[in-house]
Structure formats: C-alpha cells, structure tokens
Amino acid sequence: MAIDNENKCYTLNKNLAMNYVYARTATDVFYLLDFFISKCGCCCCRGRRSCKSCATNTLSILSRIFVSLPIAQIYAAGGMNADLDPFTSKYLFITSLQYTLRIYYIHDWLKRRPIIDINRVERWVRPILGFVPFILASHLFGAFWYLLATRRQLHCWELMRHNITYSDPDTGIQYTGMVYVRSCASNPNETYPNGTNISLWDDLCPVKEADPKAFDFGIYFYALQSDVVSPSHPLLQRVFQSFWWALRNLSSFGSNLLSGMNTLEIFFSVLISTTGMALFLVYLNARVQESKDRSNKLMLKEKKQLMKPYVDLWLSKYYLSKDKETEVTRKKKENLKIVIMENIHKLKENSDLDVQNILGILPRKDKQSIMLASLEKVSVFQTVNEKVLKAICQRLVPLTYTEDSYIVQEGKPLGKMLLFIQGTAVTYSHGETSSDSSSNKCLEKGDFYGDELLNWAFKSPSFSDLPISRTNVIAQEKVEAFAIRAKDLKSICFKFWWSFSREVNASQLKQHLAASSIQAIWRHRRARIRLAACYVKPSSWLRRRAKTIGLTHWNRFVVD
C-alpha cells in the first residue's frame, strides 16, 4: 500500500503483493522443513522420553507450526483493504510474536554452531552472523513502521472527512461529511467528484510541518513528511529507508522516538526499545561467551601440550611396559592416551597426575581396562576368569598414600586388600627379634597384600571376626594402590566361589559350603514354621482331609 498525499488517496499494488507472497512462501519453506525434522526426531525418540521431555517437545513442535504459518501472505493477499483497520493491531501482535520466535530459532541455530578455529580467517564469520537477528528485526519493525504510517494517515483522513466540503456542480449546494477516502483511480482527477475540496486535508492532517494540535502523527511523521509511503519514490528506496529507520532506533534502544498518545503507537515504541536492548544484550553475551570459550580452548590446548609427557609417563608406569608391548596392546595404549587427553580438562588445577585423579576423569569403560591390566599382573588373580575380574574392578577403589604414612597398622582389623601399582612400602612387626625377620617385606609395583581376607571371606559368616593385621605397612615414598574392602570381597567370593577354589584350601572350602548349606536349610525351615503360625488353627476335619490327600506345599503346615 502507498499513500498519494497530493491526490489524497491510496494505491494497492497487486503485483507487488503477489511477489511478496511468493518470496515469503519460499522463506517459509525452510521453517516448514525445520518443523518436519523436529517431528521426525520426536517420533524416533518416542518411548524413551519422560513426561516433562514430551511436554517440552510438544510445545516446541507447536511453536514451529506457528512460525511456519502463512499469516503475512493471508494479510497481503486478502487483507490489504483500508476498511480493515481494526485488524491491524491483531496483525501487528501476531506477526511480532511469529518473528520473535523466528529470531529465537535463528539465534539458537547460531549458538549450536561449533567454535571456529582462531587460526582461520573464518573466525569473523560467527560475529557477522550474530547480526542476522538484528537485520531480521530491523526488517520486521521497518515494515510495521511503514504499514502503521499509512494506516495513521488514512485514519486522520477518516476522522477529518466531516470537515471536507463538496459543492454540487449542478445545484451549487455545498455539503460536508459526504466525502470518503478512496482508492486512487487511473486518472487522478477522477478519484473524487468535481467540486470536492480535498486541499482542506492539508490543514487538518499536516505532514509538511508538525502540528500536534491539529493531528499528532507521532513517530510516523517522518515517514509521511519524507514521502516514504508515497508511490513517487522507487520501491527499493522506500524499503531501505524503512529498514534504516528501524535499525537506527533499535541500536539506540528507541531513545529518539517521540510517540503521541495513541495506544498502539506507544506499544510499538516500547516494543522497539525493549527488543533493541534484548538483542544487544544477547549479542554482547554471545561475544563474551565466545571469547571465553576461545580463551578456554587456548588454555586447554596449552594444558594438553604440557601434560602430554606426563600422560606418556603415567601410561608406561601403570598400564603397559614397552618391552612387553604387542601390536594389540600398543593400540590399546594409544586409544587410552587419546581418551585421557580428551578428558584432561576435567583435571583440577595443580593436581598430581596419579591414579586417583586419572581414574576420576576417565569413562567407566576405560577405568575398567586400566584396573584389569593391573589385576592380570597379580598371581592370585591370574587363574580367575575375566567375568570375575570385571566384578572385582567394579569394587576397586584407587587410594594414594603419602611418604612415611601408615597404610596398615599392626593389631587392627584388616579391612581391605591392597594391590600396589606404584611406589614402595615396607612391612614390619613390633614383636619380632633381629633373628626373626620373616615379616619384613618390601612391597612394590604389582605386589599384593591382605590375602588373609580371601580365606576369611569363605570361612566367616559375619564381620565381627575380621582378621587382625600382624604387621605394620608403611609407605617409603608416595604409594598408589587399588583397594577392595572386606564387605565387597565377601560378596564377590560368595557369588563366584568356584573361581577361587585353587586359591583357598579345598577342605576348608568344602566345610564352609557344607555348613552354609545346612544353615540355609535350617533358616528356610524356621521361616516356614513362622509362616505357619500366622494361619488360623485348622479343625480336626481339615487335618484328616490333609492327611488323606497327601503332603503338599500348602497342607504340610496343617499336618505339622
């Protein structure tokens, strides 16, 4: 729509409206595709989402449907009549909401883009793409400003038409209030009948000089004064002028807008101001976050370079030695190194690269591979199958002891078994003499301590009689070890007792299993008696009936 201020009429360019409909429809195709993609994603994940996730996904699908609706096309194709002025406010609200969601989805897409490498020229692409929401918002508000300016001009003419005089050429009688705003005819002189004094509209609706007392055009005055809404200017100039007006006021947060008393105009000004501030804060936050991420990426890169030799040293100590490496083990070692380097950022600052910290940042699968490699070196577990070793790995706890610290103290219950993987420790007893030094041992990498717990786990039914340590174990240097607690060891031994038959005395194992079976039968018998006591005492007829039928799982309680 365009306003011919000279002839006081409006024009509708149907070809332009149809071109707009085609261009807008082509743009909506992308949002429609986004809707179908999100719908397919919802169908694929059906049955694996919680109720909250399903509700969120449903809301996302509904918003995508709303974004792809052809609201502007419907208005452009069938609602561009001057008598639909009440629809303008609804159209403004609905389209504003639609474009707000579009800007949100564009920003979300930009946010999900990977961080561009700082060593490339493309590092400037992301900040430039950050202006896309600004451009889209400027296009939206510029179009609204143009539309509302034309509506404001037509509204003024409609209000002041009662003051326009019409003189009948035949009778010479002068009438007022008989003139209505019309669409421009092919011949401008034929738009209004002869004798219509349309020049009065220039004084009643002044657009050359602002006169709020006559009629206040507010923020639309510039569009009418500069003939932005006039068909005398090329379309491209009018589009760019509207775009520039919106971009200028968005960037200044609407500080230059001097609105009138019209409610829709005030709402439009507030919307421009708040949108400008929101877009600026979002853009600033994105740039700050990108700078922070880039800085963290640089620091992580430097940290990886510094920690790389320490990781190689750690792998040589705790995983596989080079003299025993094969092609398979070398690949495992390289894969583990890659995993450690990918998760090295989880390591706290100034932390030592020991087993406790390394296992704390690794995934569960890689933790298990390290523990299995350590367990396979121990003679006690060399005859145990892999299933049992994996069960043990789930209960192993990495421990670190400082130099000269007590690992185990003499005379105290032995609550855990230890597998030394780094460092040196010494065992000694206070009661030994110089001639009896059998308890003096040096525990190094690959040594095992606490095998008394293995026999205890099969023999003892409770934790009240844990074996007492006969020696002290003290760390000579920093010691790293895997530990399994007595409670966890007992549960594993009961679950996989046949795997430990070679490591435990066979007669002791048989005695223990026999005693355990008798105890289980006795407990089952006691449970049946307590259950039978809960029933009502049967009558003599019921007892005789149970005896004639024979003993069953139920009536044996009656017979007993």
Q: Which amino acid is at 126?
A: R
Q: Are 273 and 253 in contact (CB under 8 A)?
A: yes
Strands 165-167 vs 9-11: parallel, antiparallel or unpaired? unpaired
Tell me which DSSP letter residue 363 carries: -
3 state SS of 474: strand
Q: What is the pLDDT tens value at each position of the chain, 560 positions in all?
A: 777 777 777 777 676 677 777 877 887 887 777 777 766 655 544 444 455 566 666 777 777 788 878 777 777 666 554 444 445 567 767 777 887 787 777 767 766 655 445 455 556 777 777 788 888 888 888 888 888 888 888 888 888 777 777 676 666 666 666 667 777 766 666 566 666 767 777 778 888 887 788 888 888 888 888 888 887 788 888 888 999 999 999 989 988 888 888 888 888 889 899 989 988 998 888 888 878 878 888 887 787 777 777 777 767 766 555 555 566 667 777 777 777 777 776 666 655 565 556 766 677 777 777 777 777 777 767 777 778 888 888 888 888 888 888 988 888 888 888 888 888 899 888 765 444 455 678 888 878 888 788 777 766 555 667 788 888 899 988 888 888 888 888 787 777 766 665 555 545 555 555 565 566 677 777 777 777 666 555 556 555 555 565 544 444 444 44
> Looking up tokens 């609804």, which residue turns up?
90
Sheet holding 2-4, edge to edge: 2-4, 9-11, 182-183
Residue 306 lies in a domain: no
pTM of the model: 0.56
Shared-domain flag, residues 470 and 439: yes
Cα–Cα nearest to 137, from 285, 34, 271, 29: 271
111 occurs within a structural domain: yes
202 found inside a domain = yes
Note whether 135 and 28 are same-domain residues.
yes
545 and 413 within one domain: no
Full domain range(s) for residue 21: 2-292
Q: What is the DSSP string of 196-252?
A: B-TTHHHHHS--SS-BTTTB--GGGHHHHHTTTTSTTS-HHHHHHHHHHHHHHHHHT
Query: Distance (Å, rounded) from C-alpha 284 to C-alpha 278?
Result: 10
DSSP 267-284: HHHHHHHHHHHHHHHHHH
Region label for 355, one of left (φ > 0), alpha (ψ between -120 and 50) or beta (otherwise): alpha
Q: Are residues 536 and 456 in the same domain?
A: no
Residue closest to 380 by CA, chosen among 418, 349, 407: 418
Q: What is the CATH number of the domain that holds 452?
A: 2.60.120.10
- What's the domain count of the chain? 3
Angle (nearest 5°) at CA 346 between 286 and 308: 110
Check whether residue 459 and residue 538 sit in a common domain: no
Residue 386 inside a domain? The answer is: yes
Is 305 a member of any domain?
A: no
Q: Single out the residue in 461, 477, 504 at which a domain terminates.
A: 504
Count of CB atoms within 10 A of residue 510's CB? 11
Please name the helix (run of DSSP H) or strand (run of DSSP E) that holds residue 469, with its range, or none. Answer: none
Give phi and psi for 406, each to the nearest 5.
-80, 125
The span from the CA of 318 to the CA of 480, in Å, is 10
310 belongs to a structural domain: no
pLDDT value for 533: 65
Q: Are residues 252 and 376 in the same domain?
A: no
Same domain flag for 286 and 165: yes
**Cβ proximity of 106 and 137 under 8 Å:** no
Cα–Cα distances in angstroms (integers) from residue 164 to residues 31, 55, 85, 200, 353, in the given order = 49, 59, 21, 6, 90
Domain for residue 299, yes or no? Answer: no
Tell whether 332 and 217 lie within a shared domain. no
State how far the Cα of 480 lies from the Cα of 121, in Å rounded to an integer: 47
CB 440 within 8 A of CB 427: yes
- Can you tell me the distance from the alpha carbon of 518 to that of 493, in angstroms, rounded to the nearest whole number? 19
Structure letter (DSSP) for residue 498: G
Please check whether residues 497 and 540 belong to one and the same domain: no
Residues 518, 497 share a domain: no
424 shares its domain with 490: yes
Task: Return the number of other C-beta atoms located less than 10 Å from residue 544's C-beta.
Answer: 11
Please check whether residues 234 and 331 belong to one and the same domain: no
User: Does residue 298 fall inside a structural domain?
Assistant: no
